[in-house]
Amino acid sequence: MSRGLLIVDVQNDFTEGGALAVTSGDDVARGVTRYLAEHAGEYAAVVASRDWHDGANDNGGHFAADEPDFVDTWPVHCVAGTEGASYDPLFDTSAVTHHVKKGQGVSAYSAFEGTTETGSTLSALLTDLGVDELDVVGLATDHCVRASALDAIRDRRTVRVLSDLVAGVAPEPSAAALAEIRAAGGTISASGAA
| Catalytic residue of the set 88, 101, 144, 151 | 144
Cross-strand pairs, 47 = 6, 98
Q: Give the separation between CA 33 and CA 67, rounded to whole angstroms.
A: 35
Residue 56 φ then ψ, to 5°: -100, 5
Inter-residue contact 181 to 148 (CB < 8 Å)? no
| Catalytic residue of the set 78, 101, 102, 135 | 102
Cross-strand pairs, 131 = 2
Active site residue 78: no
Active site residue 144: yes
Active site residue 101: no
Handedness of CA 152, 183, 107, 96 (dihedral sign): negative
Q: Is 147 helix (H, G, I), strand (E, B) or coil?
A: helix
Q: Give the separation between CA 144 and CA 161, rounded to whole angstroms.
A: 12
* Residues in contact with 3: Cβ distance below 8 Å, sequence separation at least 6, in sequence order: 42, 43, 44, 131, 133, 134, 135
The set of catalytic residues is 9, 102, 144
